[in-house]
């Protein structure tokens, strides 16, 4: 069994706007990277995503951008986390010592409507790897819903959520 998942969401915006909201660090920080991003998701680059939620110290996550096809696809790698986030203490899952691959695809469904799909995989086939995959599935689902709210209604669902 391969620990891999996919989430998807329809967004009532043109595919270019949806793609740019993920690619552009300023836009990404408006709904996802609460502590900012140090650059655009350019192919071959390492970008630092920062998450500064609540009272917790910022978590800085290096993201390696593997492939970018404008308005169609972004593939990246980042450190696998294993275990689950503890909402009461704010304790993050532990690093697994290996990377997972994330692929985001963007598809036009007609004028003013897009489908974004996020797939992540390559976790170790252990209980902690399974927990990490579930945790990230939740996280990417939250990111997708936050992106929809940001683009369609101009609100940041992440603010005050963690």
Write down the mean pLDDT value for the chain: 90
21, two tokens: 């909201």
User: Which residues, other chains included, contact 120 with Cβ-Cβ below 8 Å and sequence gap of 6+?
Assistant: 4, 5, 100, 101, 102, 103, 133, 136, 137, 140
What is residue 68's predicted lDDT score, i.e. its pLDDT? 98
pLDDT digits (tens, 9 = 90+) for 32-58: 998 899 999 999 999 999 988 766 677
Query: Can you give the pTM of this predicted structure?
Result: 0.91
80, two tokens: 């696998």
Residue 160's region, left for phi above 0, alpha for psi from -120 to 50, else beta, is left
| CATH architecture of the domain with range 4-153 | 2-Layer Sandwich (3.30)
Show me where the domains of the chain are located.
4-153
């Amino acid at each position: 069994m391969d620990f891999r998942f996919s989430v998807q969401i329809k967004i009532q915006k043109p595919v270019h706007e949806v793609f740019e909201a993920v690619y552009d660090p300023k836009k990404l920080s408006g709904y996802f990277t609460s502590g900012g991003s140090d650059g655009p998701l350019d192919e071959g680059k390492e970008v630092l995503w920062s998450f500064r939620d609540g009272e917790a110290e910022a978590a800085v996550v290096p993201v390696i951008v593997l492939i970018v096809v404008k308005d169609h696809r972004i593939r990246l790698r980042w450190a696998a986390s294993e275990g689950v986030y503890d909402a009461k203490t704010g304790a993050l899952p532990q690093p697994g010592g290996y990377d997972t691959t994330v692929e985001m695809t963007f598809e036009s469904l007609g004028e003013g409507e897009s489908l974004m799909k996020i797939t992540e995989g390559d976790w170790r086939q252990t209980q902690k790897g399974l927990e990490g995959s579930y945790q990230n599935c939740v996280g990417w689902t939250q990111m997708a819903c936050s992106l929809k709210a940001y683009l369609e209604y101009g609100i940041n669902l992440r603010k005050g959520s963690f």
